[in-house]
Protein backbone atom coordinates (compact mmCIF):
# COMPACT_ATOMS: atom_id res chain seq x y z
CA UNK A 1 0.00 0.00 0.00
CA UNK A 2 1.26 3.47 -0.82
CA UNK A 3 0.94 6.60 1.25
CA UNK A 4 1.51 7.07 4.93
CA UNK A 5 -0.65 7.39 8.02
CA UNK A 6 -1.33 10.88 9.44
CA UNK A 7 1.53 11.85 11.75
CA UNK A 8 1.23 14.09 14.81
CA UNK A 9 4.43 15.71 16.07
CA UNK A 10 4.37 16.33 19.79
CA UNK A 11 7.63 17.77 21.14
CA UNK A 12 10.37 15.29 20.19
CA UNK A 13 8.02 12.43 19.26
CA UNK A 14 5.91 11.37 16.28
CA UNK A 15 2.51 9.81 16.93
CA UNK A 16 0.64 8.05 14.12
CA UNK A 17 -3.08 7.80 13.55
CA UNK A 18 -4.00 4.50 11.92
CA UNK A 19 -7.19 2.81 10.87
CA UNK A 20 -7.67 -0.92 11.33
CA UNK A 21 -10.78 -3.04 11.27
CA UNK A 22 -12.91 0.09 11.01
CA UNK A 23 -11.38 1.51 14.22
CA UNK A 24 -9.02 4.41 14.82
CA UNK A 25 -5.83 3.86 16.80
CA UNK A 26 -2.99 6.10 17.83
CA UNK A 27 0.54 4.73 18.04
CA UNK A 28 2.23 6.14 21.18
CA UNK A 29 0.54 8.30 23.78
CA UNK A 30 2.95 11.21 23.39
CA UNK A 31 5.09 13.16 25.84
CA UNK A 32 3.51 15.27 28.60
CA UNK A 33 4.56 18.92 28.83
CA UNK A 34 2.74 22.23 29.24
CA UNK A 35 0.12 22.39 26.48
CA UNK A 36 0.84 18.91 25.07
CA UNK A 37 -2.71 17.56 25.43
CA UNK A 38 -4.23 20.67 23.85
CA UNK A 39 -1.75 20.40 20.99
CA UNK A 40 -2.72 16.76 20.54
CA UNK A 41 -6.45 17.60 20.50
CA UNK A 42 -5.85 20.31 17.90
CA UNK A 43 -3.84 17.91 15.72
CA UNK A 44 -6.54 15.23 15.94
CA UNK A 45 -9.10 17.84 14.96
CA UNK A 46 -7.26 18.45 11.67
CA UNK A 47 -7.92 14.74 10.96
CA UNK A 48 -11.60 15.31 11.86
CA UNK A 49 -11.21 13.41 15.13
CA UNK A 50 -11.46 13.93 18.87
CA UNK A 51 -9.72 11.75 21.51
CA UNK A 52 -13.09 10.02 22.04
CA UNK A 53 -12.96 8.65 18.47
CA UNK A 54 -9.81 6.66 19.27
CA UNK A 55 -10.46 3.02 20.20
CA UNK A 56 -7.01 2.25 21.60
CA UNK A 57 -3.59 3.83 22.13
CA UNK A 58 -0.72 1.47 21.32
CA UNK A 59 2.46 2.20 23.28
CA UNK A 60 5.71 1.17 21.64
CA UNK A 61 7.57 1.44 24.97
CA UNK A 62 7.55 3.00 28.42
CA UNK A 63 9.95 5.93 27.92
CA UNK A 64 8.36 9.20 28.93
CA UNK A 65 8.62 10.83 25.51
CA UNK A 66 6.22 8.09 24.32
CA UNK A 67 4.15 7.30 27.41
CA UNK A 68 3.90 10.66 29.24
CA UNK A 69 0.28 11.24 28.19
CA UNK A 70 -0.85 7.62 28.69
CA UNK A 71 -2.60 8.40 32.00
CA UNK A 72 -4.28 11.43 30.36
CA UNK A 73 -5.61 9.26 27.50
CA UNK A 74 -7.04 6.78 29.98
CA UNK A 75 -8.70 9.62 31.95
CA UNK A 76 -10.32 10.62 28.65
CA UNK A 77 -11.74 7.08 28.44
CA UNK A 78 -9.31 5.72 25.84
CA UNK A 79 -7.57 2.48 26.90
CA UNK A 80 -3.81 2.23 26.52
CA UNK A 81 -2.12 -1.03 25.49
CA UNK A 82 1.55 -1.68 26.30
CA UNK A 83 4.06 -4.52 26.21
CA UNK A 84 3.85 -6.74 29.29
CA UNK A 85 7.57 -6.30 29.92
CA UNK A 86 7.23 -2.53 30.28
CA UNK A 87 4.33 -2.64 32.76
CA UNK A 88 6.55 -2.28 35.89
CA UNK A 89 8.20 0.81 34.41
CA UNK A 90 4.81 2.35 33.55
CA UNK A 91 3.23 1.61 36.93
CA UNK A 92 6.26 2.89 38.91
CA UNK A 93 8.51 5.11 36.77
CA UNK A 94 10.73 6.13 39.73
CA UNK A 95 11.13 3.11 42.01
CA UNK A 96 12.86 3.94 45.31
CA UNK A 97 15.67 1.43 44.74
CA UNK A 98 16.69 2.70 41.31
CA UNK A 99 19.07 5.52 42.34
CA UNK A 100 21.10 3.38 44.74
CA UNK A 101 21.25 0.54 42.29
CA UNK A 102 22.44 2.83 39.49
CA UNK A 103 25.01 4.47 41.77
CA UNK A 104 26.41 1.09 42.83
CA UNK A 105 26.56 -0.09 39.20
CA UNK A 106 28.38 3.01 37.98
CA UNK A 107 30.81 2.76 40.93
CA UNK A 108 31.49 -0.89 40.12
CA UNK A 109 32.21 0.10 36.53
CA UNK A 110 34.72 2.74 37.53
CA UNK A 111 32.89 6.07 37.36
CA UNK A 112 34.52 8.42 39.91
CA UNK A 113 32.54 9.78 42.90
CA UNK A 114 32.30 13.39 41.68
CA UNK A 115 31.02 12.32 38.25
CA UNK A 116 28.42 10.02 39.76
CA UNK A 117 27.32 12.69 42.20
CA UNK A 118 26.79 15.19 39.39
CA UNK A 119 24.93 12.67 37.28
CA UNK A 120 22.60 11.52 40.05
CA UNK A 121 21.80 15.08 41.15
CA UNK A 122 20.27 15.77 37.75
CA UNK A 123 18.22 12.59 37.92
CA UNK A 124 14.42 12.62 37.72
CA UNK A 125 14.37 15.78 35.59
CA UNK A 126 13.88 15.39 31.89
CA UNK A 127 14.14 18.22 29.44
CA UNK A 128 14.14 18.12 25.69
CA UNK A 129 16.28 20.71 23.89
CA UNK A 130 14.19 22.49 21.29
CA UNK A 131 15.31 24.59 18.38
CA UNK A 132 16.28 28.05 19.60
CA UNK A 133 17.63 26.66 22.87
CA UNK A 134 14.26 26.54 24.64
CA UNK A 135 13.85 23.60 26.99
CA UNK A 136 10.75 21.46 27.10
CA UNK A 137 10.31 19.91 30.56
CA UNK A 138 8.77 16.45 30.23
CA UNK A 139 6.54 15.12 33.02
CA UNK A 140 6.12 11.51 34.11
CA UNK A 141 2.92 10.10 35.65
CA UNK A 142 2.46 6.49 36.68
CA UNK A 143 -0.09 4.61 34.60
CA UNK A 144 -1.58 1.13 34.74
CA UNK A 145 -2.15 0.19 31.10
CA UNK A 146 -5.64 -1.17 30.44
CA UNK A 147 -4.27 -3.83 28.07
CA UNK A 148 -1.00 -5.77 28.37
CA UNK A 149 0.29 -7.13 25.09
CA UNK A 150 2.30 -10.21 24.24
CA UNK A 151 3.43 -11.14 20.77
CA UNK A 152 0.55 -11.69 18.38
CA UNK A 153 -2.67 -10.02 17.24
CA UNK A 154 -3.77 -6.98 19.26
CA UNK A 155 -7.01 -8.13 20.94
CA UNK A 156 -10.10 -6.66 19.31
CA UNK A 157 -8.16 -4.91 16.53
CA UNK A 158 -8.05 -7.06 13.39
CA UNK A 159 -5.03 -6.45 11.17
CA UNK A 160 -2.64 -5.16 13.84
CA UNK A 161 -0.02 -7.36 15.48
CA UNK A 162 2.37 -6.76 18.35
CA UNK A 163 5.95 -7.91 17.80
CA UNK A 164 8.07 -8.16 20.95
CA UNK A 165 11.54 -6.57 20.67
CA UNK A 166 13.21 -6.38 24.11
CA UNK A 167 16.30 -4.19 24.27
CA UNK A 168 15.67 -0.45 24.11
CA UNK A 169 13.31 -1.22 27.03
CA UNK A 170 12.47 -4.68 28.42
CA UNK A 171 8.98 -4.64 26.89
CA UNK A 172 9.48 -2.68 23.65
CA UNK A 173 7.03 -3.48 20.85
CA UNK A 174 6.85 -2.99 17.12
CA UNK A 175 3.32 -2.82 15.70
CA UNK A 176 2.88 -4.59 12.39
CA UNK A 177 0.11 -4.11 9.88
CA UNK A 178 0.71 -7.00 7.47
CA UNK A 179 -2.18 -5.93 5.24
CA UNK A 180 -0.59 -2.60 4.39
CA UNK A 181 3.08 -3.60 4.67
CA UNK A 182 3.56 -0.98 7.38
CA UNK A 183 5.18 -1.28 10.76
CA UNK A 184 5.60 1.18 13.61
CA UNK A 185 8.99 0.79 15.19
CA UNK A 186 8.97 3.29 18.08
CA UNK A 187 12.63 3.70 19.05
CA UNK A 188 13.58 0.13 18.11
CA UNK A 189 14.53 1.09 14.56
CA UNK A 190 15.30 4.75 13.90
CA UNK A 191 16.93 6.32 10.88
CA UNK A 192 20.30 7.99 11.51
CA UNK A 193 20.35 7.40 15.28
CA UNK A 194 21.44 4.33 17.19
CA UNK A 195 18.90 3.90 20.00
CA UNK A 196 21.36 2.49 22.54
CA UNK A 197 19.58 1.04 25.55
CA UNK A 198 20.31 2.82 28.84
CA UNK A 199 21.37 1.02 32.00
CA UNK A 200 18.35 -1.09 33.00
CA UNK A 201 17.58 -3.36 35.91
CA UNK A 202 15.20 -6.23 36.44
CA UNK A 203 12.35 -4.60 38.41
CA UNK A 204 11.88 -7.80 40.46
CA UNK A 205 14.15 -9.77 42.78
CA UNK A 206 17.58 -8.26 43.43
CA UNK A 207 17.25 -5.75 40.56
CA UNK A 208 19.90 -7.45 38.52
CA UNK A 209 21.34 -5.33 35.70
CA UNK A 210 19.83 -6.40 32.38
CA UNK A 211 22.14 -7.10 29.48
CA UNK A 212 20.13 -4.80 27.27
CA UNK A 213 22.40 -4.39 24.27
CA UNK A 214 22.79 -8.13 23.53
CA UNK A 215 19.00 -8.38 23.84
CA UNK A 216 18.59 -5.42 21.53
CA UNK A 217 20.94 -6.95 18.94
CA UNK A 218 18.98 -10.22 19.01
CA UNK A 219 15.71 -8.30 18.58
CA UNK A 220 17.19 -6.35 15.66
CA UNK A 221 18.38 -9.53 13.97
CA UNK A 222 14.87 -10.92 14.33
CA UNK A 223 13.28 -7.72 13.00
CA UNK A 224 15.44 -8.16 9.88
CA UNK A 225 13.13 -11.02 8.88
CA UNK A 226 9.87 -9.05 8.99
CA UNK A 227 8.04 -8.91 5.68
CA UNK A 228 6.90 -5.30 6.25
CA UNK A 229 9.38 -2.95 4.64
CA UNK A 230 7.74 0.42 5.18
CA UNK A 231 8.48 1.60 8.71
CA UNK A 232 7.40 4.59 10.69
CA UNK A 233 9.78 5.49 13.52
CA UNK A 234 8.90 7.63 16.54
CA UNK A 235 11.68 10.12 15.79
CA UNK A 236 12.94 11.35 12.42
CA UNK A 237 11.97 10.22 8.93
CA UNK A 238 12.46 6.78 7.46
CA UNK A 239 14.28 7.12 4.15
CA UNK A 240 15.06 3.49 3.37
CA UNK A 241 13.41 0.09 3.73
CA UNK A 242 13.29 -1.53 7.16
CA UNK A 243 15.92 -4.18 6.31
CA UNK A 244 18.46 -1.56 5.22
CA UNK A 245 17.93 0.47 8.38
CA UNK A 246 18.34 -2.64 10.56
CA UNK A 247 21.56 -3.59 8.74
CA UNK A 248 23.00 -0.12 9.32
CA UNK A 249 22.27 -0.38 13.06
CA UNK A 250 23.81 -3.85 13.36
CA UNK A 251 26.93 -2.81 11.45
CA UNK A 252 27.34 0.30 13.58
CA UNK A 253 27.11 -1.72 16.80
CA UNK A 254 29.67 -4.19 15.47
CA UNK A 255 32.06 -1.38 14.55
CA UNK A 256 31.71 0.21 17.98
CA UNK A 257 32.28 -3.13 19.72
CA UNK A 258 35.46 -3.57 17.65
CA UNK A 259 36.66 -0.15 18.79
CA UNK A 260 36.12 -1.05 22.46
CA UNK A 261 37.92 -4.33 22.04
CA UNK A 262 40.93 -2.65 20.42
CA UNK A 263 41.24 -0.34 23.44
CA UNK A 264 41.42 -3.37 25.70
CA UNK A 265 44.37 -4.80 23.80
CA UNK A 266 46.52 -2.08 25.38
CA UNK A 267 45.49 -2.77 28.98
CA UNK A 268 42.57 -3.90 31.15
CA UNK A 269 40.03 -1.09 31.57
CA UNK A 270 36.72 -0.42 33.28
CA UNK A 271 33.64 0.67 31.32
CA UNK A 272 34.19 4.23 32.55
CA UNK A 273 37.90 4.25 31.61
CA UNK A 274 37.05 3.09 28.10
CA UNK A 275 34.28 5.70 27.79
CA UNK A 276 36.61 8.46 28.95
CA UNK A 277 39.36 7.32 26.57
CA UNK A 278 36.92 7.23 23.62
CA UNK A 279 35.06 10.45 24.43
CA UNK A 280 37.31 12.68 26.58
CA UNK A 281 35.35 15.83 25.72
CA UNK A 282 31.74 14.73 25.76
CA UNK A 283 31.97 12.31 28.68
CA UNK A 284 30.71 15.06 31.01
CA UNK A 285 27.27 15.98 29.76
CA UNK A 286 26.40 12.73 28.04
CA UNK A 287 28.26 10.50 30.48
CA UNK A 288 25.18 8.49 31.35
CA UNK A 289 24.38 7.46 27.79
CA UNK A 290 27.99 6.93 26.78
CA UNK A 291 28.75 4.69 29.76
CA UNK A 292 25.53 2.75 29.10
CA UNK A 293 26.68 2.18 25.54
CA UNK A 294 30.18 1.06 26.53
CA UNK A 295 28.73 -1.29 29.12
CA UNK A 296 26.38 -2.73 26.51
CA UNK A 297 29.24 -3.25 24.04
CA UNK A 298 31.25 -4.98 26.79
CA UNK A 299 28.24 -7.23 27.49
CA UNK A 300 28.18 -8.14 23.79
CA UNK A 301 31.92 -8.87 23.71
CA UNK A 302 31.65 -10.86 26.92
CA UNK A 303 28.79 -12.96 25.52
CA UNK A 304 30.92 -13.63 22.45
CA UNK A 305 33.70 -14.82 24.76
CA UNK A 306 36.22 -12.22 23.57
CA UNK A 307 36.53 -10.20 26.80
CA UNK A 308 36.04 -10.99 30.49
CA UNK A 309 35.71 -8.76 33.56
CA UNK A 310 37.94 -9.18 36.59
CA UNK A 311 37.27 -7.37 39.87
CA UNK A 312 40.33 -5.44 40.97
CA UNK A 313 41.37 -4.67 44.56
CA UNK A 314 39.59 -1.26 44.35
CA UNK A 315 36.28 -3.07 43.72
CA UNK A 316 36.14 -1.95 40.07
CA UNK A 317 35.43 -4.40 37.25
CA UNK A 318 38.07 -4.16 34.54
CA UNK A 319 37.72 -6.03 31.28
CA UNK A 320 40.51 -7.99 29.68
CA UNK A 321 40.82 -9.46 26.19
CA UNK A 322 41.83 -12.96 25.40
CA UNK A 323 40.27 -14.69 28.40
CA UNK A 324 37.15 -16.40 27.15
CA UNK A 325 34.43 -17.70 29.42
CA UNK A 326 36.07 -21.10 29.40
CA UNK A 327 39.48 -19.58 30.17
CA UNK A 328 41.06 -20.30 26.77
CA UNK A 329 42.97 -17.64 24.87
CA UNK A 330 41.15 -16.31 21.84
CA UNK A 331 42.74 -12.92 21.22
Residues that bind Zn ion (CB under 5 A): 65, 187
Minimum CB distance to Zn ion smaller for 65 or for 86: 65
Q: What is 247-316 written as a DSSP string?
A: HHHHHHHHHHHHHHHHHHHHS-B-HHHHHHHH-TTTTTTTHHHHHHHHHHHHHHHHHTTSEEEEE-TTS-
Minimum CB separation of residue 289 from Zn ion in Å reads 13
Minimum CB distance to Zn ion smaller for 188 or for 261: 188
Minimum CB distance to Zn ion smaller for 193 or for 310: 193
At 247, phi and psi to the nearest 5?
Answer: -60, -45
Q: How many CA atoms lie within 13 A of 200 on its CB side?
A: 29
Minimum CB distance to Zn ion smaller for 137 or for 254: 137
Q: Is 173 helix (H, G, I), strand (E, B) or coil?
A: strand
Minimum CB distance to Zn ion smaller for 65 or for 293: 65
Minimum CB distance to Zn ion smaller for 242 or for 308: 242
Q: How many CB atoms lie within 10 A of CB 70?
A: 28
Angle subtended by helix axes 212-223 and 242-266, to nearest 10: 150
Minimum CB separation of residue 265 from Zn ion in Å reads 35
Minimum CB separation of residue 172 from Zn ion in Å reads 10
Minimum CB separation of residue 146 from Zn ion in Å reads 22
Minimum CB distance to Zn ion smaller for 249 or for 317: 249
Instruction: Give the span between the Cα atoms of 149 and 82, in whole angstroms.
Output: 6
Whether the Cβ atoms of residue 16 and residue 5 lie closer than 8 Å to each other: yes
Whether the Cβ atoms of residue 129 and residue 135 lie closer than 8 Å to each other: yes
Minimum CB separation of residue 319 from Zn ion in Å reads 29
Minimum CB separation of residue 86 from Zn ion in Å reads 13
Query: Cα dist. 321→112, 296, 305, 315 in Å?
Result: 23, 16, 9, 19
- The separation between CA 120 and the C-alpha centre of its own chain, rounded to angstroms, equals 20
Minimum CB separation of residue 190 from Zn ion in Å reads 8
Amino acid sequence: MRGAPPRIDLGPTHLYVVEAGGQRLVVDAGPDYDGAWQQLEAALQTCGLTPGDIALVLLTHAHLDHSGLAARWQRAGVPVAAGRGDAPLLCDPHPAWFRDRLDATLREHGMPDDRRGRLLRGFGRYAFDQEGGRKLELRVSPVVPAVLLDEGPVPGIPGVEAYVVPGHTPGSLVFRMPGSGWCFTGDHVLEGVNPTPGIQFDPGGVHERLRSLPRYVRSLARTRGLPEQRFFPAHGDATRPLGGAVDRLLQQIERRAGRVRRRLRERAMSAWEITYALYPHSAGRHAWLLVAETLGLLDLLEEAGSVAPVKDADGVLRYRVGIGRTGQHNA
